[in-house]
Amino acid sequence: MREIVLDTETTGFDPQTGDRMVEIGAVELYNHMPTGQTYHQYINPERDMPQGAFDVHGLSEEFLRDFPSFRAIARDFLDFIGDARLVIHNAKFDVPFLNAELGWCNLPPIPIERALDTLIIARKKFPGSPASLDALCRRFGIDNSHRTRHGALLDSEILAEVYLELIGGRQPGLVLAPTPASARTGAEDPGEWRPRPRPQPLPPRITKQEAAAHAAFVEAMGDGALWKKVRS
């Protein structure tokens, strides 16, 4: 199963009042394991940068001026996410921004049902507790000390770790799930793995004295002893 953990940065809170996206970051998961494939793009919003937004992500109008508009990168972005499920923290914020930008490019919107909202998952799992990304990092012991400001790719990488903890940690996927590499190369599917016989049997852990005592005990039980039937 392919999933895309996604985050955006914007000029504000509402695309319907003129706010735009300025950064997209995304991380690919396959069967709940990172594949190493990422998507990252700064975007020229073609407008000014409010001070409040700059204080959050540090992306100035001058810095973004030489980057492409969303229209120029829309197809590359859609090609990367494909038809994968989107994992987003507070999807009700990011999806409307994505759909506004897609609509201005005359491209179809992303259904909100396609997004798995980790904010909702966290609030259900830990009712009454803080559910921000920073709070969840503290809860799960995830190091985010390098996160001095919001950044779409960094936040999506951190969110991928948080998401895996929210659904039970990495271990099940690490052991049981096939990877895209195995599917492409024809390598053995871990889901079909079976233990191989040992080249040499393990040595017995009981001593000779213990084995002799057990044999004597069984012999004393008579011919109808269950142990004798099992051994035969």
What does each of the 232 residues of the chain score in pLDDT, given as a tens digit?
A: 999 999 999 999 999 999 999 999 999 999 999 999 999 999 999 999 999 999 999 999 999 999 999 999 999 999 999 999 999 999 999 999 999 999 999 999 999 999 999 999 999 999 999 999 999 999 999 988 876 678 899 999 999 999 999 998 654 444 334 444 444 444 444 445 555 665 666 666 677 887 788 778 777 777 776 666 665 5
User: What pLDDT does 163 receive?
Assistant: 97
Domains in the chain with CATH codes: 2-191 (3.30.420.10)
Active site residue 150: yes
Q: 131: which 2 tokens?
A: 């559910």
The span from the CA of 132 to the CA of 28, in Å, is 22
Q: Do 158 and 134 form a contact (C-beta atoms < 8 A)? A: no
Is 0.75 topped by the overall pTM? no
- Please name the residues in contact with 201: beta carbons below 8 A apart, sequence gap of 6 or more: none
Which one from 32, 57, 89, 150 is the annotated catalytic residue? 150
Tracing tokens 């051994």 back to the chain, one arrives at 231
